[in-house]
């Protein structure tokens, strides 16, 4: 199998998503990045990037994603899919139903769409501690998102669970200082490191099988 690949990304205009896209652009094996967005954007590298605008709330969103994915798969290169969807700042102001609509509904529809087109590797941005039975709203919704993507039955699914994300405009300075004192998965990780971990997963593990979870330490080891 060729080492080159193409990728379809949702959530690539956000803070972490932007770092993932930059890491992809720095990787020679990445031949094309297809950015699915709600509004038009100007690709950073028009030669290797293209933008497809979709209404993520439309009834046919999943079907449109599937059509797009089939087109990309038809190139003959290996194709992977990435979701870096996230609310960022203001999470506390969102109701649980609003969070579910985005994190579970949109991401789940995207995952099912690309899987129906035959894509076998999916990379998902989640959060440390994600658990659908948690009493904490955000953590609970992250767990539900993970379950929705797992239900799409990808042969290879990588779930990234960062702790406190450093270098992110939505992370307060005090949280970064606190993260220095917290060991393990709940502590700090740079968003550039998350981007590098996503790319390392795609390049190294595209032919692997199963569901893999990456916390802060595992992400650093992945690209280290």
76, pLDDT greater than 70: yes
The string of pLDDT tens digits covering residues 146-155 is: 999 999 999 9
The string of pLDDT tens digits covering residues 99-128 is: 999 999 999 999 999 999 999 999 999 999
Is domain 5-223 in CATH 3.40.50.720, yes or no?
A: yes
The whole-number average pLDDT for the span 158-185 is 71
Q: How far is CA 56 from the centre of its chain?
A: 16
- pTM summary value: 0.91
**Domain residue ranges in the chain:** 5-223
Dihedral angle of Cα 61, 68, 3, 223, to the nearest 10 degrees: -20
Q: For residues 86 and 156, what is the distance between their CA atoms, to the nearest angstrom?
A: 22
């Amino acid at each position: 199998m060729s080492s080159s690949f193409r990728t379809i990304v949702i959530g690539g205009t956000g803070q972490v998503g932007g770092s993932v896209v930059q890491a992809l652009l720095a990787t020679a094996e990445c031949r094309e990045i297809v950015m699915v967005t709600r509004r038009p954007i100007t690709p950073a590298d028009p030669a290797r990037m293209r933008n497809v605008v979709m209404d993520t709330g439309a009834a046919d969103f999943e079907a449109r994603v599937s059509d797009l994915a089939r087109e990309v798969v038809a190139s003959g290169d290996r194709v992977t899919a990435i979701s870096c969807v996230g609310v960022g700042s203001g999470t506390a102001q969102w109701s649980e139903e609003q969070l579910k609509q985005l994190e579970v509904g949109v991401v789940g529809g995207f995952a099912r769409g690309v899987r129906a087109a035959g894509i076998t590797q999916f990379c998902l941005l989640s959060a440390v501690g994600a658990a659908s039975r948690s009493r904490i709203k955000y953590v609970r919704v992250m767990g539900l998102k993970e379950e929705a993507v797992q239900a799409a039955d990808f042969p290879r699914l990588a779930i990234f669970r960062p702790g406190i994300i450093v270098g992110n405009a939505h992370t307060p300075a005090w949280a970064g200082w606190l993260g220095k004192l917290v060991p393990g998965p709940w502590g700090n990780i740079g968003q550039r490191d998350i981007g590098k971990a996503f790319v390392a997963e795609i390049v190294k593990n595209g032919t692997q099988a199963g569901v893999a979870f990456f916390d802060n330490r595992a992400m650093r080891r992945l690209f280290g």
